[in-house]
Chains A and B, each alone.
Chain A
Amino acid sequence: SQQGEEDPQALSIQEGENATMNCSYKTSINNLQWYRQNSGRGLVHLILIRSNEREKHSGRLRVTLDTSKKSSSLLITASRAADTASYFCATDGGSGGSNYKLTFGKGTLLTVNP
């Protein structure tokens, strides 16, 4: 079963705009990660945020985590056409589970129009 649920399912913006994607999950976690996938290819790791962190930055990416609401958001600033891809959040098993069994949401398809 899916642990994470991304919202929205699809997002279309213009180059230069910011894109925000949300993820909700159901059980406790150690970490939450975001991945990008270009057109049915492999996943690329973007950023990992630990359960005791609230916000993390990496280049144009900003991730927030609210463990009380079991939710996370990914913000991509100043988007580029090359950011067009599907974005997935992934959670691990938490204190009772395995760090190496990731549960993915269904993803957000981001389209950045030039």
Chain B
Amino acid sequence: KAGVTQTPRYLIKTRGQQVTLSCSPISGHRSVSWYQQTPGQGLQFLFEYFSETQRNKGNFPGRFSGRQFSNSRSEMNVSTLELGDSALYLCASSPSIRGYTEAFFGQGTRLTVV
């Protein structure tokens, strides 16, 4: 079974631009979560989607948004990029079975904002 796939792996953007990251979950997994990892703040939860609906949201500004498609693939978008948005963005999928919370992570997208 294929793992979680994130594209692209690396990205360099200029301050003020916007960016879209993609995540394909493990087949059959309906829950997709996004995390931001920085040296200063560590791993922080961005949002979680289930059946095309945002079910949970972290404490990030509105510039960070996401969506999930009917095939469970998810995208996250960051508008008006700031230098501080430079980070490793990790996507995780889960079977979303009650009480089963193990998350399977992709390799991440390394975003650098210059």
Contacts and interface: CB of A to CB of B under 8 A. Distances in A.
Interface in B91-114: 92, 94, 96, 99-108, 110
B94 A100 contact: yes
A98 interface: yes
B102 A45 contact: yes
B103 A101 contact: no
Contacts, number: 67
Interface in B57-97: 58, 88, 90, 92, 94, 96
B101 A100 contact: yes
B66 to A, nearest CB: 14
B86 to A, nearest CB: 13
Interface in A44-59: 44-45, 48
A43 B110 CA distance: 14
A30 B101 contact: yes
Contact of B108 (A42, A44, A101): A42
A41 B58 contact: no
Nearest to B4: A42
A43 B94 contact: no
Interface in B12-45: 31, 33, 35, 42-45
A27 to B, nearest CB: 14
B105 A33 contact: no
A30 B102 CA distance: 12
Contacts of B42: 2, 104-107
Interface in A64-114: 88, 92, 98-107
A33 B94 CA distance: 14
Contact of B106 (A42, A88, A105): A42
A100 B9 CA distance: 24
Contact of B45 (A31, A35, A101): A101
Interface of B: 4, 31, 33, 35, 42-45, 48, 50, 55-56, 58, 88, 90, 92, 94, 96, 99-108, 110
Interface of A: 2, 30-31, 33, 35, 40-45, 48, 88, 92, 98-107
9 contacts: A2-B42, A30-B99, A43-B90, A92-B101, A98-B48, A100-B94, A100-B103, A101-B33, A102-B103
